[in-house]
DNA sequence: CGGCGAGTTGAAGAGCTTCAAGCCTGGTGG
DNA sequence: CCACCAGGCTTGAAGCTCTTCAACTCGCCG
């Protein structure tokens, strides 16, 4: 549960008792291969799933096959806390890479959420953050140009990867295909490709099939109006300090 | 707290004790006029706000003034449950009409959430639903045409208004301006206008500045691939029955 | 070595935006 | 009481971003 501990610790200083509580939540580990559909919309859920290793993507498809990725899931991300109250999934999840996840019994999670300690608050936090990612996704796809969207998404993923120790200061693994990026940003793969090439030619990024390097992160951030305030990282630490 | 009770009751059968608990949550009533900014991004939050009467809209603006509405708030909607863990708002809220809201102390809400009764579950539910609305908004704006987006949004609002008794079977008050609809759907007001007129000419809807009537709801729903499954209404009732 | 998935590039076309102008309605003040 | 003004709605015309259709390349795995 390394990525999860790492992520929760980012918000809340967990002591040994908290870590022990977290251990009891662990549940079973399930491995998965790339491109497998872990959850299918309409399916009845029976466990809370937590990403352990690898990347995945929430998505919905329209009748005629158009696909929209809602959010990318990184290690440490929790999906379907909604299983606690909802019977069926309203969207699907597909894996991007090989990896593994924890499947936790809803009852254990519900018990943990009834508490009020640092662990509970940290969990709440991941949910608040997840919602902020969705909101940012709406702004990006609703009001930004293709170039801005791509830059913004890449910077968000980089920051999120850093939080769980999966990225260096100016580079990270990027296992997404250009089609997946396009489906995230409401674009066609063709246009996504053209814009990515343009960013490379402009000397802003460098990339291959598995990695991306940010050559001028500040210029990129300014170009696409990226302000990581919605991560609420500082705010939370301030609040902790205040208690 | 009529709309809130109405909404929570839709998911969970609240008995008198639950209603009494809810009453203690009531907090203070604040009135507002149309077009006032209730919450400004970056502002520190001190209360959980619940819509009582009137409509509002969450939104974010980019540096250069482009505006994106994230979600429309109807009576019974709860905003900023995130105040429980986050210090500052990451988006703004502006009112659409005159109205009023409840301001509830975070401590009271936190206590309520630590429970596990029908009231707590119903609150969780509103949050799950809210997240589903955000996801649907992403699909709409990412992969649907202007005409589909508009039809889909109108049908969603109608369904939500019905839940809190603010709409009849085929009509509802619609206080949004075309510019606000455009800002919700990532379109220009000009194009929004053109498409709305087209829907009217096609005999699908009838509207004026304050009202909309659905003349052929089924045809409209089919045209824009509207499936209210993401409201999770049935799923929840099933789960309740199962306990 | 053959084939498949992913990436790349070109050319034509559609949907939506931008710029521009006029209209309608409700509220305000002389 | 009515003229005026502002905000919202409506319509036209031109233009740009992104899409669609098409073809070709590259790298990898069987």
- Residue A141 three-state SS: helix
**CA separation for the pair B142, A184 (Å, rounded):** 8
Cα dist from A50 to A63, A78, A176, A230, whole Å: 29, 4, 20, 22
Strand D contacts in B 184-243 (CB under 7 A): 189-190, 193-194, 196-197, 209
pLDDT at B236 (0 to 100): 53
Q: 């049935």: which residue's tokens?
A: B234
Asked if B179 CB < 7 A from strand D, the reply is yes
Tens digits of residue pLDDT in A164-203: 999 999 999 999 999 999 999 999 999 999 999 999 999 9
Q: What is the mean pLDDT of chain B?
A: 91
Q: Which of B86, B185, B230 sits opposite A232 (nearest CB)?
A: B86
Tens digits of residue pLDDT in B152-176: 999 999 999 999 999 999 999 999 9
- In this prediction, what percent of chain B has a pLDDT beyond 70? 95
Do the chains contact at A239 and B131, CB–CB below 8 Å?
no
Tens digits of residue pLDDT in A11-57: 888 888 888 888 888 789 999 999 999 999 998 888 999 999 999 99
Do the chains contact at B225 and A115, CB–CB below 8 Å?
no
- In this prediction, what percent of chain A has a pLDDT beyond 90? 67
Counting one residue from chain A and one from chain B, the pairs whose CB atoms sit within 8 A come to: 128
Do the chains contact at B87 and A232, CB–CB below 8 Å?
yes
Domains and their CATH numbers in chain A: 2-117 (2.60.120.10), 134-235 (1.10.10.10)
Q: Using an 8 Å Cβ cutoff, are B58 and B73 in contact?
A: yes
Asked if B186 CB < 7 A from strand C, the reply is yes
- In this prediction, what percent of chain B has a pLDDT beyond 90? 67
Shortest distance, CA B101 to any CA of chain A (angstroms): 22
What count of other Cβ atoms lies within 10 Å of the Cβ of residue B86?
A: 22
> For chain C, which bases have at least one atom within 7 A of a protein Cβ?
5-11, 15-20
What count of other Cβ atoms lies within 10 Å of the Cβ of residue A30?
A: 14
What count of other Cβ atoms lies within 10 Å of the Cβ of residue B134?
A: 21
pLDDT at B87 (0 to 100): 66
Supply the DSSP symbol for B77.
-
A237: confidence class by pLDDT, cuts 50, 70, 90 = low
A133-154 mean pLDDT: 98
pLDDT at A242 (0 to 100): 43
């Amino acid at each position: 549960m390394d990525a999860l501990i790492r992520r929760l610790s980012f918000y809340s200083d967990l002591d040994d008792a908290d870590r022990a509580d977290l251990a009891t939540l662990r549940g079973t580990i399930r491995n998965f291969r790339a491109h497998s559909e872990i959850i299918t919309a309409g399916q009845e859920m029976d466990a809370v799933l937590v990403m352990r290793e690898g990347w995945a993507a929430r998505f919905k498809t329209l009748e005629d096959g158009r696909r929209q990725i809602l959010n990318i899931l990184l290690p440490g991300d929790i999906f379907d806390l909604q299983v606690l109250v909802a019977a069926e999934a309203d969207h699907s999840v597909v894996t991007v890479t090989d990896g593994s996840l924890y499947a936790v019994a809803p009852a254990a999670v519900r018990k943990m959420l009834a508490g009020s300690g640092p662990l509970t608050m940290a969990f709440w936090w991941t949910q608040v953050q997840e919602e902020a990612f969705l909101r940012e996704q709406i702004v990006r796809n609703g009001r930004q140009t293709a170039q801005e969207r791509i830059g913004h998404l890449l910077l968000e993923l980089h920051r999120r990867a850093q939080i769980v120790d999966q990225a260096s200061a100016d580079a990270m693994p990027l296992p997404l295909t250009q089609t997946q990026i396009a489906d995230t940003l409401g674009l066609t793969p063709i246009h996504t490709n053209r814009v990515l090439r343009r960013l490379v030619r402009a000397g802003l990024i460098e990339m291959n099939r598995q990695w991306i390097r940010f050559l001028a992160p500040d210029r990129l951030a300014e170009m696409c109006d990226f302000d990581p305030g919605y991560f609420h990282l500082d705010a939370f630490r301030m609040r902790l300090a205040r208690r």
